Structures are given as C-alpha cells and as structure tokens.
Amino acid sequence: MRKINFSNIWDKINDESRQSPNSLIARKIPSISKESVFIASDFNNNIRCLFIDLSSVKYLNTGKLPLFKGLEINEMELTIGDCKQRRFLRISQTIPNTENIFELFISDICKDIIDLQTFSLLEKTIFRSLSEWKLFFERYPTEFLSISSQMGLYGELTFLEKILFPRYPFYESIQYWTGAKRTNHDFQFNNIAVEIKTTASKEHTKIHISSERQLDKTGLNKLFLILYHINTHENDTETSLSSTVSRIRSLLSDDLIALDAFNTQLIRCGYYDDFSKLYTLGFSSSKCNIFEVCEDFPSITTQTIPNGIGDLKYTIMVSACVHFEISESDFVKYI
C-alpha cells in the first residue's frame, strides 16, 4: 500500500508558484504503470490541476466523464518536464476559493490513477472517481449532516478508532474504510466486510438497512454487522461529532499522509469543517452488538428478491439476530 505525502508536495509547489506570479508549477507523481501523471498549482490565481499523459491511450471519451460545477476537463497538447509535446488530459478547478478542497480531490483521483497497472483502465477509473466526488461537489458547501447522519458517521469513526487503530497502522486502517466511496459495505478487508449501524432507540431496537446489497455477502468469505447503541447528549460539545473528529486528527498528527486520507474520507461523508461548530449534539456508545451475517440471518439480498425489484429499504428486529451474535474477541480474529 503506497504512501505519498501529497500535502507536502502541494505545499512545495504552492510556495514556488506563489513566488512566480502567473506561473503553473507542476510535479510528477510516480506511477506503477510508468505513465506520466502531474499535479500542478497556479497559486496566485487559485487554480489546481491534474495532468495525465495520454500518449499510450488511443482514445478517451471525455464527453462521457461526469462533470459538475467547478470542474473543467479537456485534452491538450503541451510540454511538461521531460514530456515533450504530449497529449494530456487536464482536470482543473474553475471556481476560486475552493483550492483546499480541490487539492484533496485531485490527490484522491491521482492515487487511483498511479496505482493502475496499465492505462487501459484509465477511462473507467476516472469515471468512477469523478462519479464519487460529484455527489460531494453538488452539495458543497450548502449542507450539514442530519442527526441520523452524524450518528452514523460517529459509529464508523468509533469502529475506526477503537477497533482498527489498535491493530493496524493509521494509513492502512483508513484505506479499509470504504463506505465513503459508496461501496456496499462500510469497511472491507480483502474478502471480509463490516457494515456499521447505530441506534438511539431504548426499546424494541430495529436495525435500518438501506439497500438489498448491504447484507449481501456474495463474493465475501465473511460479512459482519455491528450495531452501536448510542446515547445522545444535548449541547455537549465535548462528545460531539466535531470533538470526535478533532480527537482522531490529533492521533494522526504525526502521520500527515494518514491525516490527509482521513480528511478526504470525511469530506466524502459530507463532513465539512465550515459547519463544525453547528454539531453540538454529543454522542456516547453504551453497548455494541456484533453479528455474523451467514445462512438464515434475517436479510433481503439480491439473491432473494424477484427480478425487477430494487432500491429496497427495510428493518430488522435485533431480537431476531441474537443467535448470530459473536464476541468482540472472536470477531477481531477475522480482521
């Protein structure tokens, strides 16, 4: 799992561009495929760019790539460093004062591209990455998280902090947090997946399932459902979502690459620092149930519904899951 300190690279090229007005300063990012990928900054004009060498790509249909406000995508021929008069795909920012977010956005796409073994998958990879980020840019910065969304994110952060951080390096732990990328499950470890749920209900607790894929273990060796029972505390900023985020950032403060990855995941989840002071509701976890989703577990999956039916939402009574509960000590053996 390669680690690149994008924050450090951005700091250096921003500083160089700041001292050279109206200049675009680029840095080449090493890639597995040996194709050339550059990130670039025109600091004084608040522009950040990603340049991808298309020399080995016969055709890339830019017209089919997702577009959204603030983004510009085009092909051009130019020279960058030792790449003389090459075809490049340029992904750039068009709205001023979004450069901090755009640096995370470009870094995230760049990570996906430089890990490609071959650029034959380039169009598919860019399409997937842009689609994931489109959801964010369409709502930024006009929305803050609902109470249920705050509680859901709190549950995922609790699992990250309490279960993964003690067992894996910080950066690796954050790579296992896949739900922010709109995958079927919140955390994935090779062929093992974990779905996180939270509830503040005191009686007759239900688990809300948002699609027929959340409890579908097709292609997995193991699937686990974790339910955190949450207590809420009015006007308790010390246990709020923002406080939890700050605490984890402090843990990551000596690992800037992991911190960057964490901040990117938060943004994907819809958590923006602009609204941090609005999150005054406190959370604490009083209990945790861990269920193994296996044969006869109460669930609806793609394998059990008729053709033509989709986008299902349903609830499961916790009392119906007790026979599938396992201890934390047994659970951690699998991850």
Domain boundary among 139, 168, 198: 139
**DSSP string computed for 89-117:** EEEEE-STT-HHHHHHHHHHHHHHHHT-S
Domain check: are 217 and 322 in the same one?
Answer: yes
Asked whether residue 316 is assigned to any structural domain, the reply reads: yes
Low-confidence ranges of the chain (pLDDT < 50): none
pLDDT of residue 278: 86
Q: Are strands 71-80 and 47-53 parallel, antiparallel or unpaired?
A: unpaired
pLDDT of residue 270: 86
Domain check: are 111 and 245 in the same one?
Answer: no
Asked whether residue 107 is assigned to any structural domain, the reply reads: yes
pLDDT of residue 56: 86
Q: pTM to 2 decimals?
A: 0.80
- d(Cα 219, Cα 183) in Å, to the nearest integer? 14
Domain boundary among 84, 112, 139: 139
Q: Degrees (nearest 5) of the Cα angle 213, 122, 1?
A: 70
Domain check: are 185 and 135 in the same one?
Answer: no
pLDDT of residue 53: 92
DSSP reduced 3-state for 190? coil
- Model confidence over 170-217: pLDDT tens digits? 999 999 999 888 788 999 998 999 999 999 877 668 898 988 888 888
Domain check: are 191 and 125 in the same one?
Answer: no
- What is the domain count for the chain? 2
pLDDT of residue 96: 67
Domain check: are 200 and 126 in the same one?
Answer: no
User: By residue range, what is the domain housing residue 229?
Assistant: 147-334
Domain check: are 12 and 153 in the same one?
Answer: no
- d(Cα 210, Cα 100) in Å, to the nearest integer? 32
Q: Are strands 222-233 and 282-292 parallel, antiparallel or unpaired?
A: antiparallel
Domain check: are 255 and 238 in the same one?
Answer: yes
Domain boundary among 139, 173, 190: 139
